[in-house]
Structure 1
Amino acid sequence: MRDNPVKQKLQRGETAFGTMVFELVSPGLPAILSAAGAEFALYDMEHSGISMEEMKRQFAYGRGLGLVPIVRPPGKQYQFVSRLLDLGAMGLMLPMVESRAEAEEIVSWTRYAPRGVRGAMFGGAHDDYAPGDVAEKMRIAEDRTIVLAMIETEKGVANVDEIMSVDGIHGAHLGQFDLSLSLGIPGQVDHPRIDAAVQSLLAACKAHGKFAACMAPTVEIARDWMRQGFNMVSYSYDIGLLANGLSDGIGQLRGKAGS
C-alpha cells in the first residue's frame, strides 16, 4: 500500500501545497496538477456534484504520480467517509465540525475495530487490489489518512481548542467564507472577526501539534497566512484559476489590440 508523503511532510513541520477541485475533473487532471507542482488535490463533493464514481476514477488516474487525493465529502455521515476511504481517498476534510463529540465520532469512522467502526473491505481500490496481511493493511490505512476538521462556524471557532485536542484529528481547515456567513458578515473575509477566528484556530493547532490548513485565493493572502502559521495551503481552485487566467490574458490582448 502507498504511504502519504503530504502527511509525513506536515508532521515534520514543513509546508505542503495543492489546490481545490470543484468542477474540472478529467482523466488528465491529476497529471496536470502534479506537473504544476501540486502535492495534493482537495476535491470538493459538498458543493460540486462530483460523484463517487468520478472520485474513484480520479484516485485511479493519480496512482503513480505521488499526488495525494483529499476529499470533502457530500456531508458528515459515516457512509460517505467509509466509502471514500475504500475507494482510495488518503485524506478527508469534514465540513462544519463544531464539538469534541462530533470530532470523536468522525475519527471513529476512519478507524477499524476495536478503535473505530470502519467496515472491513480489503483487496480493493484503497489497498491497490493487492494481497497481503490484513493487520498490516489496517495499520497503513490508519497511519496514512489525514482527517481535517473544517472550522467554519461561530460555534466551531468557540470550540476549536477541544476539537483539536481529539486524537485522530490531524488539523483544522479554515472555512473563511462560511464563517463570514455564520458571523453575520457575509463575504467580509478580511473583517477583524475573521482575523480573530484565524488566531484562535492557529493557537489551537499549535497547542495540540496539528496542521493548520487553508484555501488561499491569491498568492498574497497565502503568503500572509503562511507567515502566521498555516502550513497546508491550497492555492485557489480550478474554476478560479481558469477564469482568472483567461480573463487576465484576454484583457491584455484586448488592450494590445486597442492600442
Structure 2
Amino acid sequence: MKNLLREKIMNGEKTVGTFFEAGNANVAEALALTDLDYMLIDTEHGPFDVESVMSMLRAAELHDTTALVRVKDSNRNSVLKMLDIGAGGLIIPQVHSIEEIQKLVEYAKYYPLGQRGVAFARGAGYGYLEHAAGDINDYFAVCNRETLLVPQCETMGCLENIEEIAKVDGVDGIFVGPYDLSVAMGIPTQFDKPEFQAAMERIVKAVKAAGKFTIIYCANAEVANTRLSQGFDSVTVGQDINYYIDAINAMVKEIHV
C-alpha cells in the first residue's frame, strides 16, 4: 500500500489535482490517464453514494492516480466508510475546533494514533493485500502513514486555531477552502484583500512549522501558479465538468468562425 501523492509531496514535488464531480467510473478512469497527480471525489457537494465512490476509486487505481475523497461531514460513519472502501485520503469540510480535529483522528487513524474500527474491507484487499495479511500492528502503521487525513481550513474557528490544529498528531495536512473562508471572514471572494492574504501566509507558515503539507483550491491555472509561489505544496484546480464544457465550447467556437 503506497500513497503516490504522499510520496510526491514528501519528496518536495508540487502536485496538481482537480475536483471530480462527474460521478462516473469511466470518467474517473479517463482522469487517471491524464497528467494529474490526484483527483478529489466530492461527496460533500456531489450526489455520490458509497458504492459509486468505490467504483471511482477502483478506476483511479488502474492508472496509479491517488483518489482523495471529501467526505460529506465529520461524523464517524462518513469517515470510516470512505476509508474502508479504499480512499487514499480524506478531506474534511467545515471543522472549527481542536476538539473536532482530535475526534477526526480518533475516527480515521488506527491505534495508537486513534481508534479507527478494524475491518478488512476493500481498502485492505479483504485482508489479502500484503500490508494487511501480516502482523496487525504493521497493518495499523502502514494505514496510518499512507492514508491522509486533511481537515479543511474554511472557518474562522479553524483559522484562529490553525497553529494548534496543524500540530495535532494524526493530521497529515491542511486543505484551504478559499471561498468559504473568505465568506467566514466577511469578505466573500475578495482574495486580494490584505487580511485574506495575511490569512494565507499564516496558514502556510503554521502548517510548515508543524511539518505538514498544504493544499488549496484554485479556480484556474493562473491562480494555481500564484498559490504555489506563495508556498502551498499542492493545488486542486477547478472541477472536471467545467473542463468538459470549456473544451466543447472552444471546439464549437473554432468551427463556427
Do the structures match in fold with TM over 0.5? yes
Distance 1:64 1:130 in 2: 20
Question: Match of 2:174, SS?
Answer: strand
Indicate whether 1:125 and 2:109 are aligned: no
Spell out, residue by residue over 1:180-201, the C-alpha distance to the aligned partner (whole angstroms, 9 max, x if none).
2112222333333322211111
Q: How do 1:211-230 residues align onto structure 2 when only pairs under 5 Å count? A: 211-230=213-232
CA distance 1:59–1:102, change in 2 (3 Å): same
**Structure 1 residue 130, shift from structure 2 partner:** 4.0
Spell out, residue by residue over 1:114-151, the C-alpha distance to the aligned partner (whole angstroms, 9 max, x if none).
432211111x2001234312333222211101111101
Indicate whether 1:47 and 2:32 are aligned: no
Structure 2 equivalent of residue 169 of structure 1:
171
**Structure 1 residue 15, shift from structure 2 partner:** 1.4
Distance 1:209 1:65 in 2: 29
Distance 1:14 1:245 in 2: 28
Distance 1:191 1:240 in 2: 27
Indicate whether 1:100 and 2:98 are aligned: yes
* Aligned residues of 1:19 and 1:235 also touching (Cα < 8 A): yes
Structure 2 equivalent of residue 74 of structure 1:
72
Structure 2 equivalent of residue 58 of structure 1:
56
Q: How do 1:82-161 residues align onto structure 2 when only pairs under 5 Å count? A: 82-122=80-120, 124-131=121-128, 132-133=133-134, 134-161=136-163
* Aligned residues of 2:20 and 2:28 also touching (Cα < 8 A): no
**Structure 1 residue 252, shift from structure 2 partner:** 3.8
Distance 1:240 1:194 in 2: 26
* Aligned residues of 2:33 and 2:63 also touching (Cα < 8 A): no
* Aligned residues of 1:76 and 1:94 also touching (Cα < 8 A): yes
* Aligned residues of 1:99 and 1:162 also touching (Cα < 8 A): no
Spell out, residue by residue over 1:88-139, the C-alpha distance to the aligned partner (whole angstroms, 9 max, x if none).
01100111222222212111111223432211111x2001234312333222
**In the alignment, residue 101 of structure 1 is paired with which amino acid?**
E
Aligned with residue 207 of structure 2, among 182, 186, 205: 205
Spell out, residue by residue over 1:38-97, the C-alpha distance to the aligned partner (whole angstroms, 9 max, x if none).
121111101112111111111122233211111111111111111110010110011122
* Aligned residues of 1:152 and 1:174 also touching (Cα < 8 A): yes
**In the alignment, residue 71 of structure 1 is paired with which amino acid?**
V
CA distance 1:191–1:240, change in 2 (3 Å): farther
Distance 1:158 1:115 in 2: 24
* Aligned residues of 2:29 and 2:60 also touching (Cα < 8 A): yes
- Comparing 83-92 with 124-133, greater Cα deviation is found at 124-133
**TM-score normalised to structure 1 length:** 0.91
**In the alignment, residue 135 of structure 1 is paired with which amino acid?**
N
Question: Match of 1:127, SS?
Answer: helix
Structure 2 equivalent of residue 5 of structure 1:
4
Identical-residue share of aligned pairs (%): 27
**Structure 1 residue 218, shift from structure 2 partner:** 1.2
**TM-score normalised to structure 2 length:** 0.92
**Structure 1 residue 20, shift from structure 2 partner:** 0.8
- Comparing 70-79 with 7-16, greater Cα deviation is found at 7-16
Question: Match of 1:201, SS?
Answer: helix
Distance 1:233 1:128 in 2: 30
Which runs of 5 or more residues in structure 1 are unaligned? none
* Aligned residues of 2:113 and 2:169 also touching (Cα < 8 A): no
CA distance 1:185–1:243, change in 2 (3 Å): farther
Indicate whether 1:248 and 2:250 are aligned: yes
